Structure 1
């Protein structure tokens, strides 16, 4: 039912339905490593980990599954034919039985809070080792899982190993019933981001479309409601900073046209990346309505605001702009990245707006962006501190790759 609802906005959910039922429509190698990454963000976070597996175990096939079409597209962009790819089937017995029967994996690796009870039970029955990596379980999520503790605890105890992002996450998994002896801390895979030739080439391509000397404010991974807030803020900022250019990157492709219309309705001159429009001195907003260019956008921005942090969504990864030493502004809700966000706050490496004060959120955002635009030193200090946080926390990917050896040797 959920897939049918999603397909109304994104027809790609209607494609490859046999895979959703566990039927692999193309030949795939068996007896490999199956790694599941739900969507785009998880695929990107796994980049260093998957590359590490491919380098360390070159003769073992790797199957990287996703659940969303955008995640599927990201797999193709990042890894091409170096990995096998299909959708993870629905978590019902016939579908998961077919899936496992066809692939017969040596190891199944799930990520963060991807707990699929039926799939886990079947792997346990078949004697397939399982890891949960980059484990994340917030205090708020705990309340939901505790209502199903009879099911979740049984699933967690079937994992051969659980590797968590932090001691807080480890404590939450243990409280839900995970085994003390097999639940460890690895750190967060999302810190292990790197600049590649592909990213640098995309930065060069973006710069080729810039025919102006605008200061650039990047608003990344926006959701419904975010755009209205930032457009209201942008309207005020243009009075203070007339040459300011906003780069706007909606999170979901099916919303590109809706966001474009909204920008026009607010009276702004918009250039669309998909049309290869040039950005001139008369352009107000550069709408990045393409896939796979967000990291490169961080490379050319002066200031970055992460979407999804102004609502119940819970924010998106602030480490991508941090990799480029860019100052980052986020809204009050960063629950999806609470550990990373707290690390950055502790090191004075991020600006977080406050829902508890009386000033409207759009006005707070205007004030924060304007302050940074007028203070280059503060931009550099924030960016340098953010980059330091990235460097301090790297290494989880290789540690997690090494943990596979006991199951593959």
Structure 2
């Protein structure tokens, strides 16, 4: 497939994309998907008109995870390159909310334009960015093509390329290879990622191995106080584990594991945090259907001794939820969505369990596995067995947690390397 065919197919799919926005807004429901459609079509003049900055860097992060990953780089650019305005784009309302929480009015936030020619060109004509920074795997043919054509430098920060994605680029090499060859700088997370990019035709000059900025996770100074305040809601001293960032179809497996865990550890408490806010209510109904006693974080009720599930129905509090737990299962991994961020619980000294689907964090999962900080569980049955084992073995749990903290500390420094590259390419 080349770009002409891609554009034709994309235009045909545009009505379906709009209908999907409506479905998400009305059926899930997630009303934010019904707002600001103009931005998704590249009409961003109003957002630009309210800003005084004249020179722009465009940073694109798909959703919450990418927004958090890129936030240290955005913060440093704002501090050390104050003459540059930064426009940050996301695809999802949760990503938008996270950018607002992190930066407020320090950056300009709009939704990313859909990847068809008209929308991308309208966006570029409005902001005229000198540099485009894409996060991890957010590679879109028209975005890259027209950004390059406009004269912007293009950088991929925290770049990763799983074996699965590599095979996809090989399959559609007529579209993928020309796009990759237009990118000025790829800051790869690890040598394996760089090698896959290299095999797809990316030049040695453009490739840099910097590590992952996600290792540069910083824990807020007020986190212990916030965690202690939340912990007061939990009555008594109980074994607590968390299933974090779970996806559709995964909660059923987590609850099946929890049923088994309760047979061995009746006092166990599960903190369950679905990935997307529109799923908070359906997940609560799922728990109640299984006769589990649920307290939602938003209710402000106490988590009594008889409570089975503390449902984390809030945004931006994941570190607090992790701080309440003694071990963590990271979701998106017992269903085939590639796993979510395993470094946050590791940085807090928690043993980390994940399912077999890890392509979003493949390299990082391998690094944590190699040092003994992370264990892969094949299914809900193995998840139950490992949670029981770790909750009952303080020494094993502590050893895994210590190894995770050490691994996070040892791999810091990617932020400095990626920032230096960004400034270097910005100055060219």
Scaled to the shorter chain, the TM-score interval is: over 0.9
**Is the counterpart of residue 220 in structure 1 residue 244 in structure 2?**
yes
Alpha-carbon displacement from aligned partner over 1:27-58 (angstroms, at most 9, x marks no partner): 23341211000001101111222222122212
What TM-score do the two structures reach when normalised by structure 2?
0.91
Alpha-carbon displacement from aligned partner over 1:234-292 (angstroms, at most 9, x marks no partner): 11211211111100000011111110001011111110111122111111110011111
Question: Which of 360, 364, 370 pairs up with 1:340?
Answer: 364
Q: What residue in structure 1 maps to residue 43 of structure 2?
A: 23
Structure 1 residues not aligned, in runs of 5+: 355-360
Between the aligned partners of 1:7 and 1:193, the Cα distance in structure 2 is 36
CA deviation after TM superposition for structure 1 residue 195, in Å = 0.5
Contact 1:303–1:327 (8 Å) recurs in 2 = yes
Q: Aligned runs of 1:67-86 on 2, under 5 Å?
A: 67-86=91-110
Q: What residue in structure 1 maps to residue 307 of structure 2?
A: 283
Between the aligned partners of 2:374 and 2:266, the Cα distance in structure 1 is 25
Q: What residue in structure 2 maps to residue 252 of structure 1?
A: 276
Structure 2 residues not aligned, in runs of 5+: 1-15
Structure 1 SS opposite 2:205: helix
Q: What residue in structure 2 maps to residue 357 of structure 1?
A: none
Between the aligned partners of 1:277 and 1:106, the Cα distance in structure 2 is 50
Between the aligned partners of 1:123 and 1:68, the Cα distance in structure 2 is 22
Structure 2 SS opposite 1:79: helix
Between the aligned partners of 2:54 and 2:183, the Cα distance in structure 1 is 21
CA deviation after TM superposition for structure 1 residue 66, in Å = 0.5
Alpha-carbon displacement from aligned partner over 1:145-199 (angstroms, at most 9, x marks no partner): 1122122111111112111111111111111121221111111111111101354
CA deviation after TM superposition for structure 1 residue 201, in Å = 4.8
Between the aligned partners of 1:201 and 1:105, the Cα distance in structure 2 is 41
Contact 1:192–1:396 (8 Å) recurs in 2 = yes
Q: What residue in structure 1 maps to residue 121 of structure 2?
A: 97
Structure 1 SS opposite 2:399: helix
CA deviation after TM superposition for structure 1 residue 6, in Å = 4.4
CA deviation after TM superposition for structure 1 residue 306, in Å = 0.8
Q: What residue in structure 1 maps to residue 343 of structure 2?
A: 319
Alpha-carbon displacement from aligned partner over 1:56-96 (angstroms, at most 9, x marks no partner): 21231111110111110110111112211111111112211
Q: What residue in structure 1 maps to residue 261 of structure 2?
A: 237
CA deviation after TM superposition for structure 1 residue 372, in Å = 0.7
Contact 1:23–1:99 (8 Å) recurs in 2 = yes
Question: Which of 55, 58, 62 pairs up with 1:38?
Answer: 62
Corresponding residue pairs, total: 403
Question: Which of 384, 389, 401 pairs up with 1:366?
Answer: 384
CA deviation after TM superposition for structure 1 residue 210, in Å = 2.2
What TM-score do the two structures reach when normalised by structure 1?
0.95
CA deviation after TM superposition for structure 1 residue 135, in Å = 1.1
Q: Aligned runs of 1:134-149 on 2, under 5 Å?
A: 134-149=158-173
Query: How large is the Cα RMSD of the aligned pairs?
Result: 1.5
Alpha-carbon displacement from aligned partner over 1:199-257 (angstroms, at most 9, x marks no partner): 44532342232233222111101112211111111112112111111000000111111
Contact 1:247–1:285 (8 Å) recurs in 2 = yes
Structure 1 SS opposite 2:382: helix
Q: What residue in structure 2 maps to residue 62 of structure 1?
A: 86
